[in-house]
């Protein structure tokens, strides 16, 4: 029986994945790595340093920078990202998501956040959605980022639930891999060909409703 829902933030609740991508694109240009949709998809959901390393690796530049230089590149990306967040407000909640989260809360489901982003408290605050969350995983306390299962394992633990009692929602391949590895039901939001490992797929957030999830689960069982 499902008792809890574990949410990714960027690209699931908030329209902020486009800002992350924009800021990483700027950084890729700066270090001379070409920006492709494939690289953009690889970076989705992946933490800050891991993302930087993926970018450098994709241009065979992983050995060109010291740890110190990498830290300052990551900081520069974050500064650019924060600039893009300046005017963030409720209008950046993705279609249908506030209603969906409200519904879950009204039906007494427990709700946690499993975002890799150290900026997630700030984003939730700006969107005025904090009130719906029973718990959050602090990404700074993780040993391994997505696609490792750790963050979604913790997402269930912080709700005192077993993984099999939880559904995780993600827009990123790395996130779906993490949910599946944790033994939870995975909902992929976005291109179903890219998110083909998800248990349930929705093309966009407006399709994500409790009803649609329930009927998709019934279909899966039959």
By the criterion CB under 5 A, which residues form the site for Mg ion?
Answer: 8, 10-11, 45, 171-172
Among 17, 80, 112, 177, binds ligand G6P (CB under 6 A): 17
Please check if 18 is assigned to a binding site. no
Between 99 and 118, how does the x/- string for binding to ligand G6P read (CB under 6 A)? ----------------xxxx
Cβ 201 to ligand G6P shortest distance, Å: 19
How many CB atoms lie under 10 A from the CB of residue 77?
22
Window 124 to 153, contacts with ligand G6P (CB under 6 A): none
- Structure tokens given for 87: 């005017």
* Binder of residue 178, out of Mg ion, ligand G6P, none (CB less than 5 to 8 A by kind): none
Q: What is the DSSP letter of 149?
A: T
Q: Which of 10, 150, 170, 184 binds ligand G6P (CB under 6 A)?
A: 10
CB under 8 Å to 206, separation ≥6 — which residues?
95, 96
Active site residue 8: yes
8 assigned binding-site residue: yes
**DSSP states along 50-64:** HHHHHHHHHTT-TTS
Ranges within 20-39 binding ligand G6P (CB under 6 A): 20
Catalytic residue among 8, 128, 134, 199: 8
Q: 161-165 — which CB contacts under 8 Å span 24+ positions?
A: 161/3, 161/4, 161/110, 165/1, 165/2, 165/3, 165/4
CA torsion sign for 98, 100, 104, 106 is: positive
**Which of 47, 149, 188, 190 forms a contact with ligand G6P (CB under 6 A)?**
47
* Catalytic residue status for 10: yes
Q: In terms of Cα–Cα distance, which of 209, 206, 155, 160 is closest to 182?
A: 155
- Whose Cβ is closer to ligand G6P: residue 21's or residue 159's? 21
Number of neighbouring beta carbons within 10 Å of residue 16 = 25
On whether 43 is known to bind a ligand per the annotation, the reply is yes
Q: Where on the chain is the footprint of ligand G6P (CB under 6 A)?
A: 10, 17, 20, 43-48, 51, 78, 115-119
- Active site residues per annotation: 8, 10
């Amino acid at each position: 029986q499902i008792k809890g829902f574990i949410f990714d933030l960027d690209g699931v609740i908030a329209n902020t994945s486009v800002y992350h991508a924009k800021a990483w694109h700027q950084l890729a240009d700066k270090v001379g790595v070409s920006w492709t949709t494939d690289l953009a998809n690889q970076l989705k959901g992946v933490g800050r340093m891991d993302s930087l390393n993926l970018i450098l690796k994709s241009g065979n530049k992983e050995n060109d920078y010291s740890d110190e230089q990498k830290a300052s590149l990551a900081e520069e990306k974050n500064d650019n990202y924060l600039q893009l967040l300046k005017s963030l407000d409720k209008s950046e909640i993705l279609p249908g998501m506030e209603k969906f989260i409200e519904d879950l809360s009204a039906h007494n489901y427990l709700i946690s956040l499993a975002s890799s982003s150290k900026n997630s408290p700030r984003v939730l605050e700006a969107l005025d959605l904090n009130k719906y969350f029973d718990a959050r995983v602090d990404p700074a306390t993780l040993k391994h980022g997505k696609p490792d299962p750790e963050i979604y394992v913790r997402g269930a633990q912080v709700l005192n639930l077993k993984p099999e009692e939880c559904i995780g929602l993600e827009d990123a391949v790395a996130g779906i891999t993490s949910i599946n590895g944790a033994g939870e039901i995975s909902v992929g939001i976005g291109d179903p060909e890219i998110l083909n490992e998800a248990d349930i797929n929705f093309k966009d957030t407006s399709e994500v409703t409790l009803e649609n999830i329930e009927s998709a689960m019934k279909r899966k069982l039959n």
